[in-house]
Amino acid sequence: MVRFPNPVRLLVLAVGRVLARAGLVSPERVRRTTDLAWPRIVTGLARMSKNAVDVAMVGSAVGPVAIAGIGFASPYWGVAFSLGGGLAGGTIALVSQRFGAGADDELALAVRGSALVVLAVSLPVAAAFWLFPTRLVAVMTDDPRTIELGATYLRILAVGVPFAGLNLVGSRIYIGADDSWTPMIVRGGGAIANIVLSGVLIFGLGLGVTGAAVGTVLSNVLVTGTFAAGLVAGRLPGIGDLPVRVNPAGTYYDRETIADLVRIGLPVVGRNGVWTVAKFPMLAIVGLFGPSVVAAYVIARRIWGLMNTPGWGFGLAASSLVGQELGEGDERGAEAYAYDIIAFSVATYVVAAVLVGLFAEPIVGLFVGESGDATIPVAVELVYAACVAAVAQGVKSATAGPLDASGDTRWTFYSQVVGMFGVAIPVAYLGAATSLGLTGLYLSFVAETTVPALVNYHRFSTGKWKAISREFRPGASADD
C-alpha cells in the first residue's frame, strides 16, 4: 500500500518540527503524534465538508424551508454521535492500554463489549426517532412545512443511528491500536460516498430531503460493514494487514469490561451531549437578534467546525499514545507525551486561526451571495471570535486526551457543562437582553472553549489521572 503525501500532514509536521527545533517538544513524539493525528484531521475535514455540501444540495433542490427542516432535525441526529462517541471514549481507553500491554484477549473483550453497549443504548434512541419524529421536530418550530420535512428526514435517519454509533467505536478501536490511517480511509470514503449517494438521490431521482437522509444512512451502513469486515479478517483490500483482529464468536458480556466501558464512557457521553443539548437554548437566544444574525451564526459555526478538526486529531492521538504508555506502566512517558501534544495542539490551532482570520471575509462570502450583505459583517466578527477561541480549544482538546486515556473522564464533562451552561449561554443571553448586544455572542464563543480549557488543564496538572488509570490497566480487578 502506498501512502501518498498529504498537505495536512505536511503542515502539521512543519509546525511540530518548528517546536522541536526550539526545544519545546521531542522530535520522536512529534512524528508519532503527527502520524496518528493527521488522518483524523482529514477525516474531520471530510465530514464537515460533507455536512455543508449535503445542506447546500437540499437547499438548491427544495429551498430554504428544507434547510430549516434539516436544521431542526440535526440536533437529534447529533444524539447518535454523542452516545457513540462517548461510549467509544471507553473503547479507546481500554483498547489503547491493552494494545500497549500486548493483552490481546482483553482487547478483544473490550471491542465486543463496546459493540454490545452501543447497540443497547442506541436502539431505543432509534426507535424514538422512528416513532415520534413529528413531535420531536415540533418542539423547535410551529411551521407545518418545516415540521413535515424535518420529521421525514429524522424518521429515515433513525435507521442509521445504531450504525453511526458503531462507526465511532470502530474508529476508536484502530486509533487506540496506533492506526489512524484505516479510520481515515474508511470514514473519509464514507463521507465521499454520502455526497455521491445524496447527489444521485436528491437531483437524479428528485427525492429531496428523503434522498439526503437515505444517502446518510447508506453511507453509515457501508462504513460499519467495512469496519466489521476488517476486524474479523484482520485486513482490508487496499489497506493490507490491520493491527487488531477479533473473533466475533467470543464473549460479548463480560461484567468487569462492561462496567469499565460504562464508567469511563458515561461522562464522555455527557460531555459530547452538552453542545447537542445546548443548541436548543443557544439557537433560541440567537434568534432574538433577528434572521440576519441567525444566518451569520450558522455560517460562523460551520467555519468553526472546519477550524476545530485539529482537535479531533490531537485529542485522539493523546488518548492513544498516552494510553499505550500507561498500559506499559510508564507514567512518566505518558505525562511527557501529554505535555508535548498540548504544546503541539496549541501551536497548530494558532496557525489555523491566523490563516482563517486573514481570509475571514472571503471565506464568509462563499456562504452568501449579494442578498447576504447584512449577514457578512456579523459573520466575519463571529469568525474573528472563533479564531480567538481556537487557541483555548487547542488546550481543551489536547488535555481531554490523556484524561480520557486514563479513565478520568468526569472532569472533562464538568468543564463542558460549566463552560456552556454556566458561562457561554448566559453571556449570549445578556447580549440579547441588554446593551451588550452582539458583543455577548462574541464573548460567548470565546467562553465556550476558554472555561473548559482552564478546568481540563487544572485537572491534568494535578496528575491524579495517572493514579486513576491504574484501576483500568490490564490485569486490574474491579476492587483495585
Report the distance separating Cα 377 and Cα 20, nearest Å. 39
Ramachandran region, residue 354 (left: φ > 0; alpha: ψ -120 to 50; beta: rest): alpha
Report the distance separating Cα 290 and Cα 442, nearest Å. 16
Contact 96/183 with Cβ under 8 angstroms? no
pLDDT digits (tens, 9 = 90+) for 369-389: 544 466 788 889 999 999 999
Residue in the structure block whose three cell numbers are 447576504 = 372
Query: Is 173 strand, coil or helix?
Result: helix
Report the distance separating Cα 269 and Cα 452, nearest Å. 16
Residue in the structure block whose three cell numbers are 440536533 = 75
pLDDT digits (tens, 9 = 90+) for 235-282: 888 788 887 788 888 888 778 888 877 787 777 777 777 777 787 788
Report the distance separating Cα 359 and Cα 362, nearest Å. 6
Domain that holds residue 51: 7-469
Question: Residue 430 falls within a domain, yes or no?
Answer: yes
Contact 61/203 with Cβ under 8 angstroms? yes
Report the distance separating Cα 240 and Cα 339, nearest Å. 33
- The verdict on pTM exceeding 0.75 is no
Question: Residue 459 falls within a domain, yes or no?
Answer: yes
Question: Residue 480 falls within a domain, yes or no?
Answer: no
Question: Residue 210 falls within a domain, yes or no?
Answer: yes
- Across the range 127-138, mean pLDDT stands at 89
Q: Give the C-alpha distances (Å, rounded to integers) separating 136 from 132, 197, 258.
A: 6, 27, 31
Question: Residue 387 falls within a domain, yes or no?
Answer: yes
* pLDDT above 50: residue 2: no
Domain count across the chain:
1
Question: Residue 479 falls within a domain, yes or no?
Answer: no
Percent of the chain beyond pLDDT 70?
Answer: 90
Structure confidence at residue 59 (pLDDT): 61
Report the distance separating Cα 224 and Cα 189, nearest Å. 12
- Across the range 181-210, mean pLDDT stands at 84
- Across the range 47-66, mean pLDDT stands at 65
DSSP 372: G
Give φ, ψ of 164 to 5 degrees: -60, -40
Report the distance separating Cα 431 and Cα 176, nearest Å. 42
pLDDT digits (tens, 9 = 90+) for 393-448: 999 988 988 888 787 778 888 898 899 999 999 999 999 899 899 999 999 989 99
Q: Give the C-alpha distances (Å, rounded to integers) separating 41 from 105, 141, 231, 271, 281.
A: 30, 35, 23, 20, 29
Contact 146/68 with Cβ under 8 angstroms? yes
Could you tell me the three cell numbers for 18?
518548528
Structure confidence at residue 222 (pLDDT): 92
- How many Cα atoms occupy the beta-carbon half-sphere of 94 within 13 Å? 29
Question: Residue 271 falls within a domain, yes or no?
Answer: yes
Question: Residue 474 falls within a domain, yes or no?
Answer: no
